[in-house]
Amino acid sequence: TPAVMWFRQDLRLADNAALKAAAEAGPLVCVYVLDDATPGGWAWGAASRWWLHNSLVRLAEGLARFNVPLVLRRGPADKVIAEILHETGAASLHFTRDYAPWSGALEQRVKTIATEAGAACHRYGGFLLHEPEAIRTGQGQPYKVFTPFSRACFALGDPRPPRPAHKNLKAWEGRIKGDKLEDWRLLPRRPDWSTGFAIWTPGEQGARQRIETFIDDALSDYAEGRDRPDLARTSRLSPHLHWGEISPVQCWTAIRSAMAAAHGRLDRQGEKFLSELLWRDFSYHLLHHWPDLPSTAFQEKFAAFPWRHDPKALRVWQRGETGYPIVDAGLRELWATGYMHNRVRMIAASFLIKDLLIDWRQGETWFWDTLVDADIANNAASWQWVAGSGADAAPYFRIFNPVLQGEKFDPEGDYVRKWCPELRDLPNAVIHRPWEHEAGVKGYPARIVDHAAARHRALLALKSLS
Ligand code: FAD
């Protein structure tokens, strides 16, 4: 009797506990379910769909090396899993745990369905370094602040080493029907906005190459370099981690080994990278304990914040036409490539929330649709962090100045010139303040707001809460 492996955000063969256990339990039936119903408004956005399509192609190729087909089905996951168990008569079901707010109930329903079908149901970790329940304060409470959370994680030492890739997988001899990937229409048609996405290589192999390149080229300067959008100093592993093409344990171990080989110990650069991986765990820790995080301000007083309803300004921001070069460059990078550098995400988010007084949920939704790494926990936690309404958030009154941020983190203007070619010929001195250029700039929009005035307005809005 076969064992069903239900792939979710663990689209990899190596270090996949669920797949390993399924392969040991019986001949394999591998399935991926596209479920647009259960997540409600959080069904995968357009950029995520592009990634998913390509990642499924790679996963199917990886499985095909062992002659194991990947069955694709569409529908509410519990209903589809019930059908698969019924059609195969499988004795067991294996999957990796997911932490989205609707997942707990879904996994519970799947367990009931499996039990009724006479199949053993097994759920595994692997998406995070630490399960959200495993890390508690001395009082047994969940953490709300990152630093003690990360300290508690580091105190646990290194996670277990990753499991090696499979030497062999055996397919079930029966056959069940599946969809054609093309019929899911996950890729954009007309217009095809994804040409700039060619910088990515979705899939397990692409993830492995990313981390190797990062270790060779950027890790030694990560702690400072990570704040510079003009330099390629971050790993760009986020979409790979989001889809589980690489596990955080594999990342952690690779960094530890590289550091051990280079210096015999973990240095500041490596520690900084591991702590970023822990930010990811921390976002999920928050989401697990406060499942309203994507939709509701964590700090209650922000419920009454006087947001402005301004669809026109929102559109200007989305298109990268605010007149502030670093903000515009970020939003254009996002549209073109499905990615935005972390420092610029913070500046662009701050601009929407504080300079335009537009609700952070509008920005969160835009990112959800356009980021290839759009992630329910990281996105919500980060937007709330910038908004000042989050658990461990930057205080609202700390308002990024987009000119000074640009001058500090893109000092030569290389990043801005790349994404705002209208500004290409400006001298460095005015690249982040083009309105000061004597000759003016053709084709680049005027500022949508004056930052000093907007800052004042934002502080007044904050004051209205108290
Ligand atoms: P690296 O610097 O190489 O970091 C390595 C890994 O650590 C990342 O791949 C990521 O998994 C994790 N990480 C790094 N920074 C953070 C962080 N601040 N919070 C949580 N995890 C982190 N990240 C997402 O994965 N999905 C999102 O939807 C998302 N939305 C964001 C929205 C806003 C407004 C902001 C300010 C940040 C958001 N981030 C999000 C966090 C961060 O910007 C990205 O994880 C990072 O830019 C990814 O690039 P990288 O892989 O090169 O990062």
Residue 60 — very low, low, confident or very high, per pLDDT cuts 50/70/90? very high
Per-residue pLDDT at 280 exceeds 90 = yes
Query: What ipTM goes with this model?
Result: 0.99
Per-residue pLDDT at 295 exceeds 90 = yes
Domain boundaries, the chain: 3-126, 128-161+205-289, 300-463
Active site residue 342: yes
Active site residue 366: no
Active site residue 360: yes
Active-site hit among 107, 245, 276, 333: 276
Residue 457 — very low, low, confident or very high, per pLDDT cuts 50/70/90? very high
pLDDT in tens, 2-24: 999 999 999 999 999 999 999 99
Distance 260 CA to ligand 1 centre (A): 25
d(CA 431, CA 425): 9
> CATH classification of 300-463, choosing from 3.90.1150.10, 1.10.579.10, 1.10.3720.10, 3.40.50.170?
1.10.579.10
Higher-confidence residue of 130 and 264: namely 130
Per-residue pLDDT at 438 exceeds 90 = no
Distance 234 CA to ligand 1 centre (A): 10
Per-residue pLDDT at 393 exceeds 90 = no
Per-residue pLDDT at 439 exceeds 90 = no
d(CA 241, CA 249): 10
Active-site hit among 184, 193, 279, 435: 279
Mean pLDDT of 185-192: 93
Distance 277 CA to ligand 1 centre (A): 9
pTM of the model: 0.98
Q: Residue 466: its pLDDT value, please?
A: 78
Q: For residue 200, what are its two tokens?
A: 């990515």
Mean pLDDT of 107-118: 98
Per-residue pLDDT at 392 exceeds 90 = no
The pLDDT mean for the chain works out to: 96
Per-residue pLDDT at 190 exceeds 90 = no
* Owner of token pair 């093409």: 245
Q: Residue 137: its pLDDT value, please?
A: 97
Q: Residue 24: its pLDDT value, please?
A: 96
Q: Would the CATH topology of 3-126 be identical to that of 300-463?
A: no
Q: Residue 262: its pLDDT value, please?
A: 85
> CATH classification of 128-161+205-289, choosing from 1.25.40.80, 3.40.50.620, 3.40.30.10, 1.20.1530.20?
1.25.40.80
pLDDT in tens, 323-349: 999 999 999 999 999 999 999 999 999
Per-residue pLDDT at 419 exceeds 90 = yes
pLDDT in tens, 131-157: 999 999 999 999 999 999 999 999 999
Give nearest CA residue, ligand 1 atom 46: 342
pLDDT in tens, 218-236: 999 999 999 999 998 999 9
Does any ligand 1 atom lie closer than 6 A to the CB of residue 211?
no
Q: Please, what CATH class does the domain formed by 3-126 belong to?
A: alpha beta
Give nearest CA residue, ligand 1 atom 6: 277
Q: Can you tell me which atom of ligand 1 is nearest the CA of 283?
A: 20
Tell me which long-range contacts 451-460 makes (C-beta under 8 A, separation of at least 24).
451/324, 451/355, 451/401, 451/402, 451/403, 454/354, 454/355, 454/356, 454/357, 455/354, 455/355, 455/399, 455/401, 457/357, 458/354, 458/355, 458/357, 458/396, 458/399, 459/397, 459/399
Q: Residue 235: its pLDDT value, please?
A: 98
Q: Can you tell me which atom of ligand 1 is nearest the CA of 214?
A: 3
Active site residue 172: no
Per-residue pLDDT at 185 exceeds 90 = yes
Q: Within 10 Å of residue 191's Cβ, how many Cβ atoms?
A: 7
Per-residue pLDDT at 250 exceeds 90 = yes
